[in-house]
Amino acid sequence: MNTDRPGEPEQGRPGPGEPERPESREPEPPELLEPERPEPREPERPEPREPERPEPREPERPEPREPERPDEPAPEDRDGRPGREAHAEPAEHGAPGEAEPGEHEAYAGRGRPIGRRVLLGTLGLGALGVLTAPALQRATDAFLAGASQRDPTGLTGLLPNGGGFRYYSVAASVPHKNETTYRLTVDGLVDHPAEYTLADLRAMPQTRLVHDVQCVTGWRVPSTPFEGVRLAHLLDAAGLRPSAGAIRFTCFDGTYTESLSLRQAYRPDVLVALRMQDKPVGHNHGGPVRLYVAPMYFYKSAKWLSGITVTKDVRPGYWENRGYDVDAWVGRSNGRDDEPTS
């Protein structure tokens, strides 16, 4: 029996005039994919390399040096004493000298070569110093001398000048004497008193001595030349009387005095000095004329000499009255042991 109703569409079929409906389908489940696994790879191994071998080098050979030869002995003079070559002083430490063989190679690369301008500039400064040094030294000497005359403390006497001397003066000021105003008198126990000018003294026989100068305070100036008239020559010209036994010296500073026994005054190394250090005795050093007693401490060499008086006995001078020895032999007086100077 047909149970279908007329006019009704079959269940699941579209009616006339209705669009066809697609059949519903259940979604298909996605296929499960296994994750891709990377294939294992073997680690790369570095190719073995042979170590580099250094190229063989020939060892450096030192340059041959000539054997050192001993210095030739210095020639001897007629007396058998070594000549000047034997007294050559060694070079100072660090001072340039003649290089030994190979010395330049040993110091190669340690310093920079100096330029031509630097070298010329250094030489120029050295030449300028040589030219200006005498003027600067004279100015320094004049300043110290002037200061010492106005210094009541005497402290300026502790300052040496360029020649190594120190200035001492016992007077507040000292007048200057020159060619026309200077006079030296010789009197006392003599038969022929006299008065001399600078020109008179220069016309007499001159003696030059070179000895160290030693001060009783300790300073020393080596190899100082003095030149002048021997004191004995002036005493002989005056004619000493039988009672003469000593000499007294006075100075035109008005204060300083000195004395010698007659025997000391006749020594050949006692001068009435006109020149000192190979130039006229300047005012600061006691000029134009001073006494020079080579074997005694320098206070015996009176500065600014103006009078020579022959006496019967020794009269202590300025410093002897203040405790210094009258017979002031270097190294044998005043409690000192300095090396003799004459």
Domain definitions of the chain by residue range = 117-158, 184-322
**pLDDT on residue 120:** 73
Which CATH architecture is the domain 184-322 placed in? Answer: Alpha-Beta Complex (3.90)
The C-alpha atoms of residue 225 and residue 292 are separated, in whole angstroms, by 11
The tens digit of pLDDT for each residue in 63-114 reads: 656 655 545 444 444 444 444 333 333 333 333 343 334 433 343 445 566 6
What pLDDT is recorded for position 117? 73
Q: Residue 228 in 3-state DSSP?
A: strand
Listed in sequence order, the residues at least 6 apart from 194 whose beta carbon sits closer than 8 Å to its beta carbon are 185, 186, 234, 237, 238
DSSP for residue 285: G
Backbone angles phi, psi at 266, to 5 degrees: -90, 5
Asked which of 79-93, 160-174, 280-294 is least confident by mean pLDDT, the reply is 79-93
pLDDT band at residue 169 under the 50/70/90 scheme: confident
Please give the helix or strand (H or E) that residue 224 lies within, else none.
Answer: strand 220-230
Per the CB < 8 A criterion, the answer to whether 312 and 244 are in contact is yes
For tokens 């340039």, the residue is 96
Instruction: Count CB-CB contacts under 10 A for residue 232.
Output: 15
Closest CA to 268 of 205, 213, 198: 205
Whole-structure pTM value: 0.56
CA angle 59, 63, 68 (to 5 degrees): 140
What is the rounded distance in angstroms from the CA atom of residue 142 to the CA atom of residue 160?
A: 12
Mean pLDDT of the chain: 75
Helices (H) and strands (E) in the chain, counts: 5, 10
Calculate Rg over the CA atoms of the chain: 55
Q: Where is mean pLDDT largest: 3-12, 126-135, 178-187?
A: 178-187
Strands (E), 5-114: none
Give the angle 276-136-145 at the CA atoms, nearest 5°. Answer: 55
Angle at 22 between CA 19 and CA 26, to 5 degrees: 160
Query: Beta partners for 141?
Result: none
CA distances from 286 to 7, 44, 79, 326 (A): 170, 105, 39, 21
Eight-class DSSP state of 341: -
* Model confidence pLDDT, tens digit, residues 135-154: 554 455 444 444 444 444 44
Q: Residue 165: which pLDDT band, with cuts at 50, 70 and 90?
A: confident
**Per-residue DSSP letter, 1:** -
How many angstroms separate the Cα of 263 from the Cα of each of 128, 273, 279, 291? 51, 19, 29, 16
The closest alpha carbon to 248, from 234, 262, 232, belongs to 262
Locate all alpha helices (DSSP H) within the chain, ordered by sequence.
Answer: 103-106, 116-149, 198-202, 231-238, 262-265
